[in-house]
Amino acid sequence: MAHIACDHDHHHHGVAGDALAAELAAAEARCSAADQRLTAPRRRVLELLLEAGQPVKAYDLISTFAVDGPPAKPPTVYRALEFLEKQGFAHRIESLNAYVACRREADGHAAAFLICDCCGATREFEPEATADIIAAGQAAGYALTGVTIEAHGRCADCKE
């Protein structure tokens, strides 16, 4: 889904400085506790997602991956994204074909997103309908592994 062209400033709220360092340290600790490794490529992709504060396409991550030198090879970034999703550090926004950092600590939580079609701002929240969805899946014989809801519209800044 493409963003609608608009003529106002867009403010994205990524993480930087001490807050970014704290998020990365917390990710390291969670990985260590789960006997997983936050390798340099995985850490860099997580860092880029946190700094962006909005959904980022994989090829944009590839092009900005290296601080100095050539960009990362696509398999490196895709493997990192797969790991980050599996460990609960990132979500894939299907409708945008993009990824966003997950800053919630609950493992396996349902994810719901409000996505602005104008500026791309994305807000994650825990949907109350999750129990109903899981119950419906179980009643139909499904063993659900995740629930993701995406809602599109305009954020408060863009609707004005």
* Structural domains present in the chain: 16-103 (1.10.10.10), 108-159 (3.30.1490.190)
What tokens does 124 get? 């994650």
pLDDT at 39 over 60: yes
Supply the pLDDT for residue 10.
61
What tokens does 59 get? 């090829």
Worst-scoring range by mean pLDDT, 21-30, 63-72, 83-92, 117-126?
63-72
Worst-scoring range by mean pLDDT, 48-52, 90-94, 134-138, 142-146?
142-146
Residues of the binding site: 116, 119, 155, 158
Supply the pLDDT for residue 1.
42
Supply the pLDDT for residue 12.
64
Return the ∠ at Cα 87 (arms to 82 and 89), rounded to 5°: 85
Residues of the binding site for Zn(2+): 116, 119, 155, 158
Supply the pLDDT for residue 37.
96
Whole-angstrom distance, CA of residue 2 vs CA of residue 10: 15
- The residue-averaged pLDDT of 129-145 equals 87
